[in-house]
Structure 1
Amino acid sequence: MTELALRRSLVSAVSGWTLGAALCSLAILAGGPAAAQDCAADNGDLDARYCDANGDLVADAPTDPAELLNPDTLVFAYTPVEDPAIYEDIWQPFIDHLEEVTGRDVEFFAVQSNSAQVEAMRSGRLHIAGFSTGPTPFAVNLAGSVPFAIMGSEDGRFGYTLQVYTRKDSGIDEMADLEGARVAHTSPTSNSGNLAPRALFPKLGIVPEEDYEVVYSGSHDQSMLGVVAGDYDAAPVASEVVDRMAERGLYDPEEVQIIYESKPFPTTSYNYVYNLDPALVEKIKEAFFTFDFEGTALGEEFGGVEQFIPIDYKDDWEVIREIQAANGVTYTPEGLAAE
């Protein structure tokens, strides 16, 4: 079996397991206990268990000190990736720094799906997490996550683009050539992998599922590998993901081409759960904003990133919420179940 065939076999097996885990998580998410609060203000899209008195679109911290969490061990999770074991090693320098600044033990939690990650934070088993762009509003509204940081440059810039890749020998050289093609979208809740294409491509004269067949691959990695292998004719993917894949030698950039690129979107958001003790939250923020990427495995993995910078969910995720609204997305367990 070739290396590529082996990789595709493993990806298929993992995807099958992940689906079962996600369905289990969603069952818990839909049926778990929810202590709804009596809020004076309009909660917007937030679940009934949360309040938003200041209108910043994220859950307020509980007013009752007895409801605050102050765990001895903090649980941290990065967004689901093809090989969580690799990313646990990559994140270790940051975890060491987080332990030093907070004075707490930190456990890395390898999540298998966006649904499982949201459920883990909602149920209180996850305290700090990096949520992908598209799932971030689900985490905010269903799990009480509070986005506060993003990877960026020293001058405060951050973001990634939606890129559409094809093989150079595919005969597909522009968006109009996607007519009748088999195109890999990642997952229903993914921003660059599904929602943005559905909102943006019609303006280019190409309507997903009308002009081309949509096939869900499960991840940006699998979409890109599928294009390289010829399983898909094209794929919309996040630039930051395919750049890292190229750096790791997972595909040959000479075999593919970009036929479309969007304006920048925000990348993975870093969040704490709303009911963490405020003093602990300040220590967590301090750890993020003082971490030095230079010379670490994390800095090598995320090339061009120099620091964590502050974000504002209400402002910085506005374009994402608009794209999701255009796609009829609702921030409910049923909406997340599409994952």
Structure 2
Amino acid sequence: MRSLFRAAALSATLTLSLLSSAFALDTRYRDTDGDLVADIPAAAEQVDPAVLIFAYTPVEDPSVYARVWDSFLQHMSRVTGKRVQFFPVQSNAAQIEALRAGRLHVAGFNTGSTPLAVNCAGFRPLFIMAANDGDFGYRMQFITHPGSGVEKMEDIRGRRIAFTSETSNSGYKAPSALLRDAYRLEANRDFTPVFSGRHDNSVLGVANRDYPVAAIASEVARRMVARNVVRADAFRVIYESDRFPTTAYGVAHNLRADLQDKIREAFATFPWAGTALAEEFGKTIPAGERFMPITYRDAWKVVRDVDASVGVQYTCR
């Protein structure tokens, strides 16, 4: 998406500062092999929890996703020999804090939060959902509702725009940059930003005409339509971006090394056919049909480039 991106500061426990390009890990972590993620520490510093806690990115209704992930968590339990518990999180910041504090062991972080989780919480991304042919990714969209008077991006001027949270790539960073650099639309001057907290809230807000415009991730809206949570004709797309990587699945850096190997095995060997996970994520385009191994260095380069183009620095408190 070239150099059309500009991020804004996040005032939270973990802060994004528009200072200079810097993606160094927090001082509590080491990266001796240069892969941009925290090394597994020495054996004496590794942890072996009796129960593995798993959290999926706070995109939609946690109760829905507890059921969707149940078959996978049972599979992980069989492979690792440990009980695995689903932990619902309400915000990206809370999920990162839980990992950093040692209360979370396996997780799926959304696109925009992944670099923050890597740098500030020792997250080690291992997999991404992909179609059987290896296709993966999502697109950032601007949506509006019929009758809003918004026919094209320029019509956003003077209106409210729903974003999700400041750490979200598709729900805030990328759309904010696009508005500023491609359309010369400045927040609080040319439009009023509001925050819904999650992508599903933004989609429903537009569908119910609470918001005239929202920035969302395409895969979320497609899943909601497929589940009959929202009608396809309740909103329409006025802009769609190039492709970004989707949720990164991985582990806390300090889990016992052989346990990390077992968790990696669980992702790699999960039998998708006939599961709730396949039913839910098979509705996306491209379909989620397997966990595909990735490296953070390669798969998240486009996201780091977006941030680096405007000098984003991850400051960890």
TM-score when scaled to structure 2?
Answer: 0.88
Whether 1:98 and 2:86 are equivalent positions in the alignment is no
**Equivalent residue, structure 2, for 1:283:** 262
Using the TM superposition, give the Cα deviation of residue 329 of structure 1 relative to its aligned residue in structure 2, in angstroms.
Answer: 3.6
Name stretches of at least 5 consecutive residues in structure 1 with no aligned partner: 1-21, 31-42, 335-339
Contact 1:151 1:158 in 2 (8 A): yes
Percent sequence identity over matched residues?
51
Distance 1:229 1:240 in 2: 19
Using the TM superposition, give the Cα deviation of residue 133 of structure 1 relative to its aligned residue in structure 2, in angstroms.
Answer: 0.8
Distance 1:233 1:327 in 2: 28
Using the TM superposition, give the Cα deviation of residue 82 of structure 1 relative to its aligned residue in structure 2, in angstroms.
Answer: 3.8
Query: What does residue range 216-295 of structure 1 map to in structure 2 within 5 Å?
Result: 216-295=195-274
**Equivalent residue, structure 2, for 1:134:** 112
Distance 1:288 1:300 in 2: 17
**Equivalent residue, structure 2, for 1:332:** 315
Letter in 2 for 1:136: T
**Equivalent residue, structure 2, for 1:12:** none
Distance 2:59 2:183 in 1: 32
**Equivalent residue, structure 2, for 1:146:** 124
Which residue, 115, 118, 122 being the options, matches 2:96? 118
Contact 1:199 1:327 in 2 (8 A): no
Higher relative contact order (CA 8 A, sep 6+): 2
Letter in 2 for 1:259: I
Alignment RMSD:
1.9
**Equivalent residue, structure 2, for 1:194:** 172
Using the TM superposition, give the Cα deviation of residue 79 of structure 1 relative to its aligned residue in structure 2, in angstroms.
Answer: 0.9
**Equivalent residue, structure 2, for 1:58:** 37
Contact 1:199 1:323 in 2 (8 A): no
Using the TM superposition, give the Cα deviation of residue 206 of structure 1 relative to its aligned residue in structure 2, in angstroms.
Answer: 4.1
Query: What does residue range 19-38 of structure 1 map to in structure 2 within 5 Å?
Result: 26=13
Structure 1 pair 206/219, CA: closer, same or farther in 2 (3 Å)? Answer: farther
Contact 1:72 1:105 in 2 (8 A): yes
Helix, strand or coil for the counterpart of 1:94?
helix
Which residue, 287, 295, 306 being the options, matches 1:312? 295
Aligned residue pairs, count? 296
Distance 2:208 2:311 in 1: 33
Contact 1:208 1:214 in 2 (8 A): no
Name stretches of at least 5 consecutive residues in structure 2 with no aligned partner: 1-10, 16-21
**Equivalent residue, structure 2, for 1:204:** 182
Letter in 1 for 2:114: T
Distance 1:279 1:161 in 2: 36
Superposed CA deviations along residues 295-334 of structure 1, whole A, max 9, x for unmatched, are 1111111122110001111111111122233455432246
Contact 1:77 1:129 in 2 (8 A): yes
Whether 1:175 and 2:153 are equivalent positions in the alignment is yes
Letter in 2 for 1:165: I
Contact 2:91 2:197 in 1 (8 A): no
Give the structure with the larger helix fraction.
Answer: 1
TM-score when scaled to structure 1?
Answer: 0.83
Give the structure with the larger strand fraction.
Answer: 2
Distance 1:212 1:253 in 2: 26
